[in-house]
Structure 1
Amino acid sequence: MTDLSTDPATQTTSADTTAAASALLAANRRRRRIRRWIAIGTLPLTLAALLFVGKLLSMYAFAHQSISAYVVDDYAGSEASARGQEFLNWFEPFKAPFNVGTALAGAEKLPEARTKLEESLELAHGLEVCTVRINLALVIERQGDAAAADGDGAAAAEFYGEALTLTSETPEECNSEEAQQQSSDPDRDMQKTKEDTEDRLKQKQQEQQEQQQPEEQKPEEQEQPEPQPSDEKLDELKEKLEQGQQERDQRQDGEEPGGTGTDKPW
């Protein structure tokens, strides 16, 4: 019987098989290393893509919550939702401070609202500035109303002047249909709101300025001349004087005055 372990042909086949298996294992290890490095290399891109999608979804969610809360006068809830848009505020960066400022204005936190809307205006570009300018002007107008209610007419007039300047400097492009479509409130006619605001501010500013005029600058009332006695009164007065003189002359002569003996007032 032939010993297979000593057969040269069998030994060659076994060696070839072992070499092929080793080469296959080595190739598999190389492929695994390549896949691992590819996975590591693309991990930042994968995370960025997930973050991008998550940010988009969160923006729409926070914006919807902020608007819904504002509609039902839940200004605190609207503000909280709008502040959620501020994290990693890459897309339309003006919207987060705009929504926060609008919510603060609804809660009558006017100084804070103005600060956020001014921040929004700095971040806005193109037609984005239209709706921001309108809301900012309305907030400043309400600051003027509050100052007027407190009796500070000078501060009220200053606020009205600032709001009027802001409104009058609104770009002409804001009167376009495209700007109307981008408005935060499409049901509000942007051009009409702008014109009404300007007229209202001019009237309020004028009223406050008139109230602040010094007394000496106001037209003085004309002095009414003292009424002069009529000719009839003068004649009557003359008769009384003559009668009084006659009575004095009679007393001096020892005569009794006529009438009741009582001097008449004159």
Structure 2
Amino acid sequence: MTTPSQHPMPPATQADAAALLLAANRRRRRIRWWVAVATLPLTLAGLLLVGKVLSMYAFAHQSISSFVTGSYAESESAARGQTWLNGFEQFKAPYNIGTAQAGAEQLAAARDHLEAALPLATGLDVCYVRINLSLVIERQGDAAQADGDAVAAAEFYGQALQVTVETPEECRSDEAQNQSPDPSRDMSDTLDENQQRQQQKQQQNPEQGEQPSEQGEQDQPSQSDLDDIENRLDQGAQEREDQLGEDGGSGGTERPW
């Protein structure tokens, strides 16, 4: 005789099977929900990264297009859009801003941004940052020269020349030319022309700056001239004394010099 515990469980009814299936579905939904919650940060980060990349290209394209058409304010505004969460190619935002400001003749601000971009650039990206920075400093020299400040102009030209001379030799390679933002200009020829022009401007301006001081030196008597004048004064005084002695010291007035 068998006991009740030895009897197998009775077959499940259709209702019991449906309940089991519903419970399993609830468990799966809960698992999917927790997986979704756990991966939400990664999903958001991925979407943000994709959006950032697309926006970077969009802002860069707009900045370039505006610059080409001479809309420098719009070019600068678009370039500033690249600064938001700029975690890669960080040099491009200040480079594009500085380039747009240079087009608008905002030379001091352009120089600040290009100098900020230079240490952020790596590899052959350094090449065109240096070229633009050198040109901006040279134009600062031109502005100082136009204002009549030859000394400041010479200083700017010297700084521009230094930036050009310190440009890596790799910037003259074909690979650097292929990365140039202006493929129509030969980078090697541009560097040679910049160096030659800036050197000539620097050499011309010190001479102009020295002219006033040289003229001032010519206007002032030398030490030998001063000694000669002193000797003449002493000789004149001696002659007067001799003449007064010959007149017997009469009450005549002393002659003027």
Report the TM range for the smaller structure's normalisation: 0.7 to 0.9
Q: In structure 1, what is the equivalent of residue 67 of structure 2? A: 70
TM-score w.r.t. the length of structure 2 is 0.77
Structure 1 unaligned blocks of 5 or more: 1-10, 221-266
Task: Write the mapping of 1:108-257 to structure 2, written as runs, cut at 5 A.
Answer: 108-213=105-210, 214-215=213-214
Distance 2:119 2:113 in 1: 10
Residue 23 of structure 2 corresponds to 26
**In structure 1, how many angstroms separate the alpha carbons of the residues matched to 2:186 and 2:135?**
15
Give the alignment's Cα RMSD to 1 decimal. Answer: 2.0
Superposition deviation, residue 174 in structure 1: 0.5
Match of 1:212, SS?
Answer: helix
Deviation at 1:20, TM superposition (A): 3.3
Query: Kindly tell me: are residues 166 and 218 of structure 1, through their superposed partners in 2, closer, same or farther at Cα, counting changes over 3 Å?
Result: farther
Match of 2:159, SS state, is helix
Identity value in percent: 64
> Which letter does structure 1 place at the counterpart of 2:48?
L
For 1:189 and 1:77, locate their aligned partners in 2 and report how far apart those are by CA, in whole Å. 27
Partners of 2:215 and 2:83 in 1: CA distance: 54
3-state secondary structure, aligned to 2:70: coil
- Indicate the residue corresponding to 1:52 in structure 2: 49
Q: 1:45 and 1:218 mapped to 2: Cα distance? A: 75
Deviations 1:70-94 (A, max 9, x none): 1111000000011111111123111
Q: Is 1:36 the equivalent of 2:33?
A: yes
Aligned to 1:87: 84
Change (3 A) 1:40 1:119: same
**Structure 2: runs of 5 or more not aligned:** 1-8, 220-257
**1:38 Cα deviation from its structure 2 partner:** 1.0
1:45 deviates by 1.8
Q: Which moved more, 1:140-149 or 1:38-47?
A: 38-47
Q: Structure 1 segments of 4 or more deviating over 6 A?
A: 217-220
Give distance in 2, aligned partners of 1:163 and 1:189.
Answer: 19
Offset of 1:21 from its aligned partner? 3.5
Amino acid corresponding to residue 132 of structure 1 in structure 2: V
Tell me by how many angstroms 1:24 deviates: 2.2
Cα distance, 1:218–1:137 mapped onto 2, change above 3 Å: farther
Partner of 1:90, secondary structure, is coil
Correspondence for 1:248: none
Out of 102, 105, 127, the position equivalent to 1:105 is: 102
TM-score by length of 1: 0.74
Which amino acid is the alignment partner of residue 178 of structure 2?
Q
Give how far 1:55 is off.
1.2
